[in-house]
C-alpha cells in the first residue's frame, strides 16, 4: 500500500485481488480503486503477459499468481518473455515487475496447490527470486522487489500468512541478495528457507539444552544467492545442514550445497546434509503430507549426524 | 482517395524497402552468409505498411518471428536490423537477439518474438499501460493465423474486451502455419469471426490492399483512442516464399501448388499500389521508380554496414541482463 502511494505507475492485478481472496491485498481496493487493483479473468498466461507488456510500456506492475503451481500456466510469459527480453533486446527493455505468489504446503491442499515451485525458476537468468520467512522480511523484501527495475518473483509461504511478529513501520527496506542470521551459534550452520526457518529455529532452541549451538541462516533471496554470508557462517561452524521444502531432487538446497562444496570445501569438517521434501508429489492426507515434508525430527537427525 | 500523395509515396517506399530487405535476407541466408533461421514476408508487405502508416510515432507494436516487415513499416533502421541479423555488435540488440527478436523501444517497437502467440499478451499489457497512464497511445499487435489457435490469443482478446483496451489485433492470415494449411487446423473460415466471442468488432480485410488495410486500421485506432476498446482485423494475404529460408532441404514434400503461388503473385501488393496511383494520376512512373531505386540503395548500404561491423566480444555475453 505504501509503495502504491509512493509510485503512481504501480498497479496490482491478479485473480480476486479486489476481495483479497488470500488476505495479501486487503484494503487496497478501497484506497486505490478498481483501475489500480485489477481483478483478472482466470487467464494466467494472458495477464502475466500483460504485466510484461505494461512494464515494457513504462508501468511497474505487481502481478499476483494466487497459488504458485498456477505459474506453470504462464511459464512462457515468465521464462521466455519477462526473464529474457531485456537481455535479448540488448538492454533496451525495462521490466520492473513484481510477481507475487503463495507456495508450499499448509495442510491438506494436495500436490497442485502445495508445491514449492521456486526450483523451476532458479536456473532462469534474468529473474530474482525471494522467499521471506516472516512478516517483517516480507514487507521489506516486497518493497525492494517493487522498486527493483528487474523482474522479481516473491514466494510467500502459504503457512506464513498466519505468522505474527513485529513489523517495522514505514519505509524499511530489506535488500534483495542479502541473507540474515536468524539465530547465532557456533557448532553447525543450518541454512533454512521460507517456512523452514521457524522450524529450524525451534529445533535449534531445543538442541541448546544438549549443548549444541546451531546458527540458523535464512538466505531470504535465492537468486542472486548471498554466498558470502553462508560461507562466513560455515567458516565459523565448519558444518552445514540445508533445509528446503522443495523436492530434494533439483532443490534450492542442492544448488546451495554444490556452491558451498565448490567454494568452501576446505571449511567443511563433515559432509553437508540436505533436508527436503521426498521426491513424490505432495500428498493430500495429513499423515502422508507430514511424512513427505521436512519436519523437526528430520532436521534434528541431520544436525546430530553432521556433528557426529 | 482520402490518402495524400506524401503518404502514398511513403507507403510505396516502405513496401519496397521490405521487399528488398527480405530478398537480400533470403539470398544471403541461402549463400550461407547470414546465420540462423530467416522467416521472410515477401508478398505480405501491404499488411505491415497499411497498419503502421495508420499509427502515430508514439504508438507501439509487437511483432512475430516473421517480423522484418513490421519493423521496417514502423520506421526500423534497416542498417541496424541487418547488423543484428548478422549477429554484429552494431545491431539493434547488440547481437543478442537476431532475426526473431529485433526491438527498437524508441520507435515503439516492443519486439519481434520467437514464441508463436507470445507477443499477444504483451501488446495487451502495453495497451493497459496506455489506458492507466492515459497517454492516448494505441498498440498494434501482429500475429499469424497459427497464433490465433494459441491460448494467449483467446485470453488476450477477452482481457482487452472487458477492460476496453486501446489495442488492435492484426491477424496476418497467410494461409499456412509452417507447412500446415490454416483451414486444416482452424475451426472457422474467417478468424475475424472469433471477435464475436469476445464482443469486439472483427473484420476480414484484403491484406494485399495497402489502402484497405490503412483505412481499417485508422478506424480501429480512432475507436481505441476514443476509449471504445479493441478491434480484430484479419488481413488475408499470402507468403510467396517458404516458411523458413532453405526449407526445401528438410521437408519431404510439397504443401502447396505452383499454381496457387502464381495466383497470389499475380496479386502483388506493390504492383496493386502502383496501378491504383498511376491510373488515378496521383503519381507518375518516374516518381515511383526513383523511390524504388532509393529503397534498393538503402538495403545495399545496410548490407555493407552489417558486413563491416564488428562482432561482439565474448565478454559482452555477460552484459545487459540486469538494470
Ligand atoms: C509456441 C511455439 N510453438 C511452435 C513454434 C514453431 N513455429 C514457428 S513459426 C510457426 C508457424 C506459425 O504460424 P503463423 O502464426 O500462422 O505465422 P506465419 O509463420 O504463417 O507467419 C511455428 C509452428 C514456435 N516458434 N512457438
Arithmetic mean of pLDDT over chain B:
96
Average pLDDT of the residues in B172-200: 96
**Interface residue A49 vs chain B (CB under 8 A):** yes
Give the pLDDT of residue A166.
84
Alpha-carbon distances, residue A4 vs A16, A143, A284 (angstroms): 18, 10, 38
B24-34 confidence digits (pLDDT tens): 999 999 999 99
Give the pLDDT of residue A36.
92
Give the pLDDT of residue B113.
95
CATH number for the domain harbouring residue B281? 3.40.50.970
B31-77 confidence digits (pLDDT tens): 999 988 899 999 999 999 999 999 999 999 999 999 999 999 999 99
* Residue A79 DSSP one-character state: I
Is B45 part of a structural domain of the chain? yes
Is B312 part of a structural domain of the chain? no
Give the pLDDT of residue B2.
76
Look up the ipTM and state it: 0.83
Listed residue (B13, B77, B9, B76) closest to B45, CA to CA: B13
**Interface residue A33 vs chain B (CB under 8 A):** no
Model confidence at B80, in pLDDT bands (50, 70, 90)?
very high
Is B323 part of a structural domain of the chain? no
Is B83 part of a structural domain of the chain? yes
Give the pLDDT of residue A168.
86
Among B129, B143, B165, most A C-beta atoms within 10 A, so best to mutate, is B129
Q: Has A44 been annotated as catalytic?
A: yes
Average pLDDT of the residues in B99-124: 96
Among the partner-chain residues B97, B137, B163, the one whose CB lies closest to the CB of A89 is B97
Number of domains in chain B: 1
Grid coordinates representing B116 are 508463436
Q: What is the pTM of this model?
A: 0.91
* Residue keyed to cell 518474438: B113
Average pLDDT of the residues in B162-166: 98
Model confidence at B84, in pLDDT bands (50, 70, 90)?
very high
Could B121 and A48 be called an inter-chain contact, meaning their C-beta atoms sit closer than 8 Å?
yes
Listed residue (B319, B113, B106, B91) closest to A126, CA to CA: B319
Residue B161 contacts residue B191 (beta carbons within 8 Å): no
Report the alpha-carbon distance of residue A78 to residue A74 in Å, rounded: 6
* Residue keyed to cell 522479481: A152
SS3 (DSSP) at B106: helix
Q: What is the DSSP string of A149-197?
A: SS-EEEEEEGGGGG-------SS-PPPTT--EEEE--SSEEEEE-TTHH
Give the pLDDT of residue A224.
98
Is B255 part of a structural domain of the chain? no
Report the alpha-carbon distance of residue B192 to residue B9 in Å, rounded: 30
Report the alpha-carbon distance of residue A192 to residue B149 in Å, rounded: 44
Which residue segment(s) compose the domain that B105 sits in? 5-244+260-306
Helix axis angle for B285-308 and B78-85, nearest 10°, is 40
B252-291 confidence digits (pLDDT tens): 888 999 999 999 999 999 999 999 999 999 999 999 999 9
Is B271 part of a structural domain of the chain? yes
* Residue B193 DSSP one-character state: G
Give the pLDDT of residue A125.
97
Alpha-carbon distances, residue A160 vs A113, A126, B18, B206 (angstroms): 15, 27, 56, 57
Could B125 and A93 be called an inter-chain contact, meaning their C-beta atoms sit closer than 8 Å?
no
Average pLDDT of the residues in B236-256: 92
Sign of CA dihedral B70, B71, B72, B74: positive
- In what side-by-side order are the strands of the sheet with B202-206? B60-62, B139-144, B167-173, B231-236, B202-206
Is B108 part of a structural domain of the chain? yes
Alpha-helical segments (H) within B31-176: 45-53, 68-73, 78-85, 119-133, 151-162
> Which residues, numbered 67 to 86 in chain B, qualify as contacts with chain A under a Cβ-Cβ cut-off of 8 Å?
none
Give the pLDDT of residue A200.
98
Alpha-helical segments (H) within B2-140: 5-30, 45-53, 68-73, 78-85, 119-133
Across A28-42, B11-25, B189-203, least confident range: A28-42
Give the pLDDT of residue A185.
98
Q: Has A157 been annotated as catalytic?
A: no
Is B253 part of a structural domain of the chain? no
Distance B116 CA to ligand 1 centre (A): 5
**Residue A72: partners with Cβ closer than 8 Å, 6 or more residues away:** none
Structural domains of chain A, with CATH: 2-160 (3.40.50.970), 180-307 (3.40.50.920)
Other C-beta atoms closer than 10 Å to the C-beta of A255 total 18
Could B127 and A77 be called an inter-chain contact, meaning their C-beta atoms sit closer than 8 Å?
no
Asked whether the predicted pLDDT for residue B1 surpasses 80, the reply is no
**Residue B209: partners with Cβ closer than 8 Å, 6 or more residues away:** B46, B50, B269, B272
Give the pLDDT of residue A22.
63
Q: State which residue of chain B sits closest to A60, comparing Cα positions.
A: B129
Spans in chain A with pLDDT lower than 50:
none
Amino acid at each position: 500500500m505504501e509503495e502504491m502511494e509512493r509510485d503512481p505507475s504501480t498497479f496490482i492485478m491478479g485473480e480476486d485481488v479486489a476481495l483479497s481472496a488470500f488476505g495479501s491485498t486487503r484494503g487496497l481496493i478501497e484506497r486505490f480503486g478498481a483501475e489500480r487493483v485489477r481483478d483478472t479473468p482466470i487467464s494466467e498466461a494472458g495477464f502475466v503477459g500483460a504485466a510484461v507488456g505494461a512494464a515494457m510500456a513504462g508501468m511497474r506492475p505487481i502481478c499476483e499468481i494466487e497459488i504458485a503451481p498456477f505459474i506453470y500456466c504462464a511459464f512462457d510469459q515468465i521464462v521466455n518473455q519477462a526473464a529474457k527480453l531485456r537481455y535479448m533486446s540488448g538492454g533496451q527493455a525495462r521490466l520492473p515487475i513484481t510477481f507475487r505468489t503463495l507456495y508450499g504446503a499448509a495442510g491438506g491442499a494436495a500436490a497442485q496447490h502445495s508445491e514449492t515451485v521456486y526450483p523451476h525458476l532458479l536456473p532462469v537468468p534474468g529473474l530474482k527470486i525471494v522467499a521471506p520467512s516472516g512478516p517483517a522480511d516480507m514487507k521489506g523484501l516486497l518493497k525492494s522487489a517493487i522498486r527493483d527495475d528487474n523482474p522479481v518473483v516473491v514466494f510467500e509461504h502459504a503457512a506464513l500468512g498466519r505468522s505474527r511478529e513485529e513489523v517495522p513501520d514505514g519505509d524499511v527496506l530489506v535488500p534483495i541478495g542479502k541473507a540474515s542470521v536468524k539465530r547465532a551459534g557456533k557448532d553447525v550452520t543450518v541454512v533454512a528457507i521460507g517456512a523452514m526457518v521457524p522450524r529450524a529455529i525451534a529445533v535449534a532452541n531445543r538442541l541448546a539444552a544438549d549443548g549444541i549451538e546451531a546458527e540458523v541462516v535464512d538466505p531470504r533471496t535465492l537468486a542472486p544467492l548471498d554466498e558470502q554470508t553462508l560461507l562466513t557462517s560455515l567458516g565459523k561452524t565448519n558444518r552445514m545442514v540445508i533445509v528446503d521444502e522443495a523436492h530434494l531432487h533439483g532443490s534450492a538446497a542442492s544448488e546451495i550445497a554444490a556452491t558451498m562444496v565448490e567454494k568452501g570445501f576446505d571449511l567443511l569438517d563433515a559432509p553437508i546434509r540436505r533436508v527436503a521434501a521426498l521426491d513424490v508429489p505432495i500428498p493430500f492426507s495429513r499423515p502422508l503430507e507430514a511424512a513427505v515434508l521436512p519436519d523437526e525430527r528430520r532436521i534434528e537427525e541431520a544436525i546430530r549426524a553432521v556433528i557426529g | 482517395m482520402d490518402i495524400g500523395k506524401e503518404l502514398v509515396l511513403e507507403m510505396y517506399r516502405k513496401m519496397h524497402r521490405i521487399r528488398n530487405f527480405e530478398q537480400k535476407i533470403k539470398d544471403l541466408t541461402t549463400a550461407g552468409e547470414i546465420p540462423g533461421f530467416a522467416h521472410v514476408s515477401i508478398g505480405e508487405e501491404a499488411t505491415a505498411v497499411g497498419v503502421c502508416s495508420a499509427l502515430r510515432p508514439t504508438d507501439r507494436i509487437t511483432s512475430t518471428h516473421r517480423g522484418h516487415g513490421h519493423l521496417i513499416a514502423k520506421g526500423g533502421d534497416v542498417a541496424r536490423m541487418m547488423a543484428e541479423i548478422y549477429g554484429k555488435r552494431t545491431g539493434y540488440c547488440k547481437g543478442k537477439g537476431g532475426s526473431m527478436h529485433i526491438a527498437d523501444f524508441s520507435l515503439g517497437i516492443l519486439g519481434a518474438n520467437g514464441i508463436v502467440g507470445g507477443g499477444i499478451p504483451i501488446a495487451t499489457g502495453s495497451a493497459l499501460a496506455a489506458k492507466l497512464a492515459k497517454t492516448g497511445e494505441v498498440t498494434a499487435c501482429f500475429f499469424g493465423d497459427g497464433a490465433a489457435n494459441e491460448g494467449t490469443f483467446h485470453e488476450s482478446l477477452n482481457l482487452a474486451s472487458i477492460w476496453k483496451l486501446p489495442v488492435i489485433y492484426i491477424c496476418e492470415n497467410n494461409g499456412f502455419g509452417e507447412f500446415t494449411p490454416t483451414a486444416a487446423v482452424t475451426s472457422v473460415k474467417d478468424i475475424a469471426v472469433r471477435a464475436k466471442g469476445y464482443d469486439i468488432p472483427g473484420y476480414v480485410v484484403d491484406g494485399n490492399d495497402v489502402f484497405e488495410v490503412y483505412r481499417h486500421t485508422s478506424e480501429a485506432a480512432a475507436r481505441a483512442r476514443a476509449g471504445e476498446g479493441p478491434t480484430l482485423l484479419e488481413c488475408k494475404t499470402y507468403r510467396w516464399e517458404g516458411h523458413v529460408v532453405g526449407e526445401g532441404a528438410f521437408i519431404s514434400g510439397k504443401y502447396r501448388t505452383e499454381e496457387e503461388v502464381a495466383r497470389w503473385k499475380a496479386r502483388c501488393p506493390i504492383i496493386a499500389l502502383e496501378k491504383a496511383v498511376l491510373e488515378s494520376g496521383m503519381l507518375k512512373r518516374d516518381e515511383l521508380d526513383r523511390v524504388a531505386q532509393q529503397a534498393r540503395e538503402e538495403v545495399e548500404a545496410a548490407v555493407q554496414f552489417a558486413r563491416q561491423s564488428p562482432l561482439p566480444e565474448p565478454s559482452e555475453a555477460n552484459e545487459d541482463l540486469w538494470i
